[in-house]
Amino acid sequence: EVQLVESGGGLIQPGGSLRLSCAASGFTVMYNYMSWVRQAPGKGLEWVSALYSGGTTYYADSVRGRFTISSDNSKNALYLQMNNLRDEDTAVYYCAKQTSTSTTFHYWGQGALVTVSS
Amino acid sequence: DIQMTQSPSSLSASVGDRVTISCRASQSIGRALNWYHQKSGEAPKLLMYDASNLQSGVPSRFSGSGSGTDFTLTISSLQPEDFATYYCQQSYTAPTFGQGTKVEIK
């Protein structure tokens, strides 16, 4: 059974850094296609970043240059390193699994809340 | 970016009603269109992919149609567990979502 469990969220001041983790089970992250999707409070869904099998990475314009997606094969985990955080980055961040390069999100984690505020 | 526009933004319906939600893309996306629903406090859940393919485990009262720029999600007979917010999402290019349609109890 595919399971995704996010951790690492919290309250951070503007300009600060935070790393989100997504522990995966039921499949191997390094052979799959993974994304981070976020949802600001009371708002809709926004794709943030993707990591494809082979190591290719993709970013939304709103986070490119500030966020970095990566994985740890020994821990079967996905990460999102978030630097220079802004108020508008406040959101629940979901880890999501695709079945291919088609960005259809078949599985989602429960989400991790990141609050950027002074 | 491809913009996705859903209509209506919200609707009120009764159990047993037939409900239709529309989604329009700002440019042609073929059939690269997915539908999700999200209950309050929960993660989104995939309902339909590639416009009309029912995700495994999703009840057959859900159906999807469309191609190009105009798509529709239909719930043939609304059930209590279907009251949620519905999102369309294009997978043609860098993914973008519609703003959501909240389905409420009348």
Which chain A residues are closer than 8 Å to B34 by Cβ? 104-105
pLDDT, mean of residues A55-72: 97
Q: Which of B47, B49, B69 is nearest to B60 (CA)?
A: B47
How large is the average pLDDT for residues B15-21? 97
Provide, as residue numbers in chain A, all residues whose Cβ is less than 8 Å from the Cβ of B91. 102-104
Average pLDDT over residues A7-34: 96
The token pair at B94 is 């860098």
CA-nearest of A37, A101, A28 to B43 is A37
The predicted structure's pLDDT at residue A100: 81
Nearest neighbour of B94 by CB, restricted to A45, A47, A111: A47
Give the whole-angstrom CA distance, residue B66 versus residue B11. 21
| Chain B contacts in chain A segment 55-74 (CB below 8 A) | 58, 60-61
The residue among A87 and A102 whose pLDDT is bigger is: A87
Tokens matching residue A84:
């220079």
Q: How far is A105 from chain B (nearest CA, A)?
A: 7
On the question of pLDDT at A77 being above 90, the answer is yes
Q: CA A84, A87, A90 angle in degrees (round to 5)?
A: 100
For B35-88, what is each residue's pLDDT tens digit?
Answer: 999 999 999 999 999 999 999 999 999 999 999 999 999 999 999 999 999 999
Q: 3-class DSSP state for residue A84?
A: coil
* CB contact (8 A) between residue A105 and residue B32: no
Please give the pLDDT value at position A66. 98
A9 in contact with B, Cβ within 8 Å: no
Cα separation of A52 and A46, whole Å?
Answer: 18
Nearest to A102 among B36, B45, B91 (CB): B91
Say which amino acid occupies A81: Q
| pLDDT of amino acid B7 | 97
A60: nearest CB among B36, B42, B94? B94
Residues A25 and A32: beta-carbon distance below 8 Å: no
**Taking 90 as the threshold, does the pLDDT of residue A54 lie above it?**
no
